[in-house]
Amino acid sequence: MRPDTEDDIGPLSPMPCFDLYAASRSVTAVYRPLLEPLGLTYPQYLVMVVLWQHEESTVREILRELQLDYNTVSPLLKRLETRGLLVRRRRTDDERSVTVALTDEGRDLRERTRHIPDVIGAAMGIDGPTVIKLREILRTITASATAHAAKT
């Protein structure tokens, strides 16, 4: 009784969640060769995007933005710091917090990513209105699923 048109033969067809999973990985796969020359992974790129906007942030703000947790973001930031793209330091006004700031090298890296959004946009093969529609649906799902998970 699931909403299911039989337009495909695979057993995974009636599962929209699988389409989500497959689409997410396929887009990440497009990013990979674009980011590889910069020595960045996709999640690392997302962190850099946040920092290119905010210039300076905290670990907490970054993981909120990425909807991830400390146990994923902490080692990730550690690796980016080792590569010299950012620095972490304890805040003096609240010693629990850690400030994350770009280095010059991290800031400069931005120039080498200018072409990426257009390449991704083209690779996804959907037009502007569809992107808008997709985003609306995806945010509904994320909000609903997150709320569902929270009250369990």
Interacting residues with DNA (CB under 7 A)? 21, 25, 28-29, 32, 41-44, 58-60, 63, 68-79, 88, 93-98
- When asked if residue 114 is in the footprint of a copy of itself (CB under 8 A), the reply is no
Q: How far is the CB of 143 from DNA (least distance, A)?
A: 15
Q: Which partner from the list DNA, a copy of itself, none does 72 bind, CB cut-off 5 to 8 Å by kind?
A: DNA
- When asked if residue 65 is in the footprint of a copy of itself (CB under 8 A), the reply is yes
> Which residues are CB-contacts of 8 (< 8 A; sequence separation ≥ 6)?
none
Q: Which of 31, 35, 58, 85 binds a copy of itself (CB under 8 A)?
A: 31
Specify the DSSP element, H or E, that contains 133. helix 128-150
> Which residues are CB-contacts of 72 (< 8 A; sequence separation ≥ 6)?
43, 63
Helix, strand or coil, per DSSP, at residue 123: helix
